[in-house]
Structures are given as C-alpha cells and as structure tokens.
Amino acid sequence: MRQPRECKEGKRVRRQTPKLPLGKKIKQIRKALTLSFTTQKRTNMTPPQPKWKSETAEEETGEGQQPRFTMGYWQMRGLGAAIRMLLHWGKYTHHGGAEMNFKDVQYAQDADGVNEWFKRDKVEMIKDANPLANIPYLIDHEEKKTIVQFLCICDYLGRKIGVDETDENSDQRLRNAQIAMEIFDLRNSVIRLVYKFPNSVRTQSEFYERLPEHLGACKKTYQKLESWLQFHDFTYFAKKDAVSSCDFHAFEMIDQHEHYQTLVCGKDGEDVEKQDMLSEFPRVKKLHAEMKSRPELKAYFESKEYKEFQLNNHTLANSWDGPGPSSKR
C-alpha cells in the first residue's frame, strides 16, 4: 500500500493539483455543460408519433371536433380516391356532424414519405393495431378498429355511411360485391399499363406505346358493365336509383380512362382524333355523369386530392410525372 508523503516533522502533506490555465479551464467547463444539456435533451425528447395514432388524429375539423375516421394513403388518387369519396359522402349526408368527420393522412411519394410509412407508421401499426397493416388503411376511432385492404374498407364504409345494406344476404350486397370485383379487374389492367414489375414503373414512351391497346381491351369491360345496367335497368350498379359503395371505385376507374384516352397520339407523336369511349356505352356514361354531379361529392371534386393529385404513382422513370391531371407530352 502506497504511503502518504510526509514532511520532516512527520506530518501528512496534501498532494497539490497543478493549476490549469484559465483558457483551458473555461473550455472544460463549456464541454461539461454541453454534455449535460445534450444528455438531458435526449432524455426528454419524445419520438414523433405515427400519423395514424389517435392523438395525432385529433386535429380540428371545422368545429374543434375529433374525427370519427382516419384514412391513410399516398399523395395520389389511386386506391385512395374511392375511399375519399365515400368519406366525403358520409360527412355531407350527416350534415358535417362529428360522427362522420374524417382526417386524410397522406404520405409523400418520396424517400421521406416512404420511410415515414414503412419504417415508422407501419411498424407501429403492426405492433399496436393490425398485424396486416398496409395502405390504404382506415381507422374507426369510435369503434377502435383499424381496417386494411381496399375492398374491405369500401365495404365497411358503405355500411357505416348508409349506402350499402347491412344484411349480408341482401341482393344489393351481392350485386355490390360482384361489381366491386369486376372494377378491380379493370384496376389491375391499369396497374399493368402504368407499372413495370417487379420494382419499377414504365417510362413515358412505354406508357404511350401500350395505351391504345389497353383502351381497346377496356371496351370489353365497358360492354359488360353496360350490359349489366341494361339487364337490371339500373342507373347505378347495385341499386336502381341510389349509389352503393361499388359505384365510387367504378366512377374513379371510368374517370381515369376519360383522361387516358386524351393522351393517345400517332406513332410519330402526331395528333390523332381523340376517342370518346363512353359514347358507345350510354348507361355507363350516364352513371359517370350522375356521380360527377352529386352534391354529396361537390367538396371532393373541388379538392386538390381530385384536381391536382396524379392518378397513380408519379415517380415514373425518366423523371416523368406520370399520367395524371398535369400530364403533358
């Protein structure tokens, strides 16, 4: 054991600490204070909450009301369009009451938006709300349910806002389900037109090359829809004179093709006579016009989500914005 130093008289001598220059001492103090502040800040820092959490959904909706529903989707029309239409319809028909207010959570189509969904919100949703988490999603805050898969969301909302019957065995529900699947087949054909699998989307030239063939094939679907309406003598697809949830997605897909047919051009880029597919299918054309004129959807058709959003993913190859309201050749 080390013995303490002693002076000649045998008394213990305190070891002297060498004095630091004033400048160096100040630097040490600043370093210690900075470290303390940073540690405290990290300890008190609250990580950002997922957008779908009910706490972050409590934004004012005109009258300081918490929304009944929260939907989440990319900043494009895509599968989100029909859900937005259903939510607008419910809000209008319930006179803007709190029981049908909604929040539209939108994820940007860039690296930040992708990370926000896949690395944060989806992870938390899988853990806390629904192991099948995906977008689009719908949260019913009142019933504490998180619903995924597009067709399930439309079916759920259709019953909640009163456009679909609640009896599982009703003829309306059966007709609605059949048309919903038929329209989804049309949607899948659009996916094959716009996206080049597995991990990329088509270039501008590829899109225009394939467009005429796609529109020609779509006429077969339009003919089936026309025959269905004629067979039942209906204005809408599942009820004679009233909308059902399937009509919203049907409108969106017809509306997208109304835009696509304006983009057709000749082989060398020359203008060609524009197609008017709906002129061949008067009942389908009437349904499209009826939906577009509904007062329940006026707010939606005036929104940026309808007027400005791209129809599908805009991150196409060659820096092309993709087919949508702002498409230019």
Q: How far apart are CA 26 and CA 29, in angstroms?
A: 5
Residues 228 and 121 in one domain: no
Is residue 4 included in any domain, yes or no? no
Q: How far apart are CA 316 and CA 70, in angstroms?
A: 28
Q: Pick from 160, 187, 207: which residue ends a domain?
A: 160
pLDDT, one tens digit per residue, over 80-91 is 999 999 999 999
Residues 77 and 126 in one domain: yes
pLDDT, one tens digit per residue, over 11-54 is 555 555 556 566 666 666 666 656 554 545 444 455 667 776 75
CATH code, domain carrying 204 = 1.20.1050.10
Residues 156 and 199 in one domain: no
Is residue 257 included in any domain, yes or no? yes
Residue 205's pLDDT is 81
Residue 29's pLDDT is 64
Residues 182 and 282 in one domain: yes
Is residue 305 included in any domain, yes or no? no
Q: How far apart are CA 49 and CA 278, in angstroms?
A: 46
Is residue 36 included in any domain, yes or no? no
Is residue 30 included in any domain, yes or no? no
Is residue 148 included in any domain, yes or no? yes
Residues 150 and 189 in one domain: no
Residues 132 and 195 in one domain: no
Is residue 105 included in any domain, yes or no? yes
Domain that holds residue 260: 171-294
Residues 120 and 200 in one domain: no
For 101, phi and psi rounded to 5 degrees? -70, 155
Beta strands 137-140 and 102-107, pairing class: unpaired
Residues 123 and 231 in one domain: no
Residues 152 and 215 in one domain: no
Specify the number of domains making up the chain: 2
R_g (Cα) of the chain, nearest Å = 30
Is residue 25 included in any domain, yes or no? no
Residue 102's pLDDT is 94
Beta strands 137-140 and 69-74, pairing class: antiparallel
Residues 182 and 261 in one domain: yes
Residues 176 and 153 in one domain: no
Query: If phi over 0 gives left and psi between -120 and 50 gives alpha, with beta otherwise, what is residue 10?
Result: left
Q: Which of 315, 299, 306 is nearest to 255 (CA)?
A: 306
137-140 β-sheet, strand order = 102-107, 69-74, 137-140, 145-148
Q: Pick from 160, 191, 220: which residue ends a domain?
A: 160
Question: Would you give per-residue pLDDT tens digits along the chain (329 residues)?
Answer: 555 555 455 555 555 555 656 666 666 666 665 655 454 544 445 566 777 675 544 444 445 568 999 999 999 999 999 999 999 999 999 865 557 899 999 999 888 999 999 999 999 999 999 999 999 999 999 999 999 999 999 999 999 999 999 998 999 999 999 999 999 999 999 988 887 765 556 777 888 888 889 999 999 999 999 999 999 999 999 999 999 999 999 999 999 999 998 888 655 555 666 778 999 999 999 999 999 999 999 999 999 999 999 898 754 433 344 555 644 43
Residues 155 and 185 in one domain: no
Q: Pick from 107, 133, 160: which residue ends a domain?
A: 160
Residue 267's pLDDT is 55
CATH code, domain carrying 152 = 3.40.30.10
